[in-house]
Amino acid sequence: MIKLWRMRKVLRFLVKPIEKFFNNLRFRHKFFVLYFSCVILPLIVTDSIILNAVYQQEINSTKYDMEYIAGVYQNYFENMLSSDVTLAESVNMNPKINAFVIKDFKTEYDFYDEYTQVIYDSFLETTSGLNRNSIVIYADNESILDSQFVKKLSRVYTQKWYQDFIKSDRKDLISAYYDVNETSEFRSKRKFYYIKRMDYESESGIGKLVVIGHDSSTLQSNLKSFNSKYPAYVIIDDYVVFSTLGDSIIYRSQVDLTNKNNVVKTVNIAGAKVDIIIVNEEKIISSVLRDNWRILLFLIFITVFIPFFMLTVIENTVTKRITVLENAFGSEKTNTFNSIKDVQGSDELASLMNKYNKMVEITNELVTTVYKDKIKEQESDIARQKAELLALQSQINPHFMFNALESIRMHSLLKGETETASMVDKLAVMERQNVEWGKDFVTIKKEIESIEAYLALQSYRFGDRLSFDIDVDEDCELYLVPKLTVVTFVENACVHGIESKATQGWIFVRVYKGEKELFIEVEDTGEGMSEEKVLEMTKDIEEASIETIKNRKHVGILNACLRLKMVTGHSVKFDIESEAGVGLSVIIRIPFDKLKKAVEDE
């Protein structure tokens, strides 16, 4: 029981990561893994086993065929050589032939007269054509004449078969060789002889040999009648006496004897080793595929294509309906879920889709009663904030108007009326933007035009006491800001910084781009502020709201800061640096993702 519990625990431990892996796969990939592990992998294993069985069967069948052909060749040569041995021994034991070849003939007539009688009485004529090409008796007797069956031994002293026989010191010998120079009664240059020493009645001292010769061309013709489909060779010593490939193969070294598929039979007779070699040069696996391609094709069709087709159909019935269900949930931007109109099937997925439709009905009702009401509330808040922005903006208009008119009045009193038209023109530039209530935002370029007009008017007022410098990067000009916000900071620098200073003062306006933010910098060389005043001003800006502005008299800077905070989602940052008697610097930092850009033509 404990062992079973441990096995289950180990099994759960192994299965858990596999389940985790499959949980992260899409259905299409899961079906692919299922198809590979349950169809392809078993198919490879089973087909390999079947193919191996067919392969082994083909090897055994091929081996059997080769063994059979080798046995036929072996029987042929054993019979032929045994027949040669028997025939040679019969010639050796024939007293008439022995007496004839050692006789001293006086005349040629005596030889032919007795030769005809001996040949007629013997069996030489009847046996010379039975699987052999010649039967010749060689005698060391110069009185005999060379004829078909009897010849002088002296004429073959130089021939290789005779030299092989003398060197062997045997009573009989098989000699095979290839000689292009030696002339004989054979058409082929392949020589194949059985030689036997005639030792019957050897008291005369005359050497006698019986030689049975086989023409390789006749041997080739006889053996080819067996119709071997495999290359076959018959090799005696180092020479190929027969080859199914014809006369191109002569020596043993030309035959591939290292092939493990070869079948070799050996006949040992008369001091010679006769090797019968059957060679299989064909790749067995290719022959198996060629001979059994219909079966293999049928197996592939049954085990691969039919399961793949069925798995694809099943996978489509699942994944397509899951996709329909997934699309029914809609995107994140939509406010309602989409019901599934045509639910197909009656399985678990169809049941899930029907339940989903019921859930959609309930959810859409909740969306209508809760979510849409919330949207209306938010829209109401946005409208209220917009109205408050417009109200804040409306407070600025008289403030600028009074300062501009005061400048014109002072100038008129001191200088006369000659430059009034120019001042009124500058005032018109400011008022033209100020009265455009249809637009809450202006480009940096338009805001800078208002700043230039305002500072030009103030120059009439302060004279040489006021100088200014405006530097705006060209690629910053089309960014949109709430109108009259930057002008407010310039006005503050002019009134609270330059006005109270008796000596010359400067106002610098710079707009440039940082890595992630737009920088708007307004700096003056006026009276500046103490550190306590800077901290107080920073705190007021951070805590600025509609309520605080309503309860204050001087709201210019707070108004501008609050408007910037509201339109940027409180992402704008204000850096204030000042030193009493030196000046004040305000840096406004607005993230680019909170800014919009106007079209060039606008």
Q: Which of 42-56, 268-282, 406-420, 481-495 has the lowest mean pLDDT?
A: 406-420
Measure CA 437 to chain center.
64
Structure tokens at 437: 């209530």
pLDDT, mean of residues 41-59: 74
pLDDT at 435 over 70: no
pLDDT at 456 over 90: no
Query: What's 500's DSSP letter?
Result: T
Q: Residue 417 — pLDDT band, cuts 50, 70, 90? A: low
More confident residue, 71 or 431: 71
Helices (H), 94-198: 95-102, 108-121, 124-127, 160-168
pLDDT, mean of residues 327-352: 67
pLDDT at residue 487, rounded to an integer: 87
pLDDT, mean of residues 180-189: 58
pLDDT at residue 591, rounded to an integer: 93
Q: What share of the chain is helix, strand, coil (3-state, %, to 5)?
A: 55, 15, 25
Q: Which of 87-91, 176-180, 568-572 has the lowest mean pLDDT?
A: 176-180
pLDDT at 563 over 60: yes
Distances (CA, A) of 233 to 35, 133, 241, 368: 53, 20, 8, 98
Give CA–CA dist 286/284, Å, rounded: 5
pLDDT at 132 over 50: yes
Query: What's 555's DSSP letter?
Result: -
Sign for the pseudo-dihedral over CA of 313, 319, 325, 329: negative
pLDDT, mean of residues 3-7: 67
pLDDT at residue 380, rounded to an integer: 47
Q: Which of 233-242, 441-450, 481-490, 546-555 has the lowest mean pLDDT?
A: 546-555
Q: Residue 585 — pLDDT band, cuts 50, 70, 90? A: very high
CB 77 within 8 A of CB 214: no
Instruction: List where CATH 3.30.565.10 sits in the chain.
Output: 377-594
pLDDT at residue 441, rounded to an integer: 84
pLDDT at residue 337, rounded to an integer: 64
pLDDT at residue 383, rounded to an integer: 46
pLDDT at residue 164, rounded to an integer: 86
pLDDT at 309 over 90: no
pLDDT at 28 over 90: no
More confident residue, 194 or 31: 194
pLDDT, mean of residues 58-64: 77
pLDDT at residue 148, rounded to an integer: 84
What CATH superfamily is the domain 60-278? PAS domain (3.30.450.20)
Contacts of 189 (CB under 8 A, 6+ apart): 178, 179, 180, 216
CB 512 within 8 A of CB 477: no
Structure tokens at 400: 């600028």
Contacts of 338 (CB under 8 A, 6+ apart): 327, 328, 329, 330, 360
- Digit-coded pLDDT (tens) for 137-166: 999 888 898 888 899 988 889 888 888 888
pLDDT at residue 573, rounded to an integer: 93
pLDDT at residue 269, rounded to an integer: 77
Q: What pairing do the DSSP bridges indicate for beta strands 150-152 and 134-139?
A: parallel
Q: Average pLDDT over the chain, rounded to whole? A: 76
Tokens 């200073």 sit at which residue?
Answer: 501
pLDDT at residue 521, rounded to an integer: 95
Instruction: List where CATH 3.30.450.20 sits in the chain.
Output: 60-278
Q: Which CATH class is domain 377-594?
A: alpha beta
pLDDT at residue 291, rounded to an integer: 64
CB atoms near residue 25 (< 10 Å): 12
pLDDT at 289 over 70: no
More confident residue, 10 or 507: 507
pLDDT at 70 over 90: no
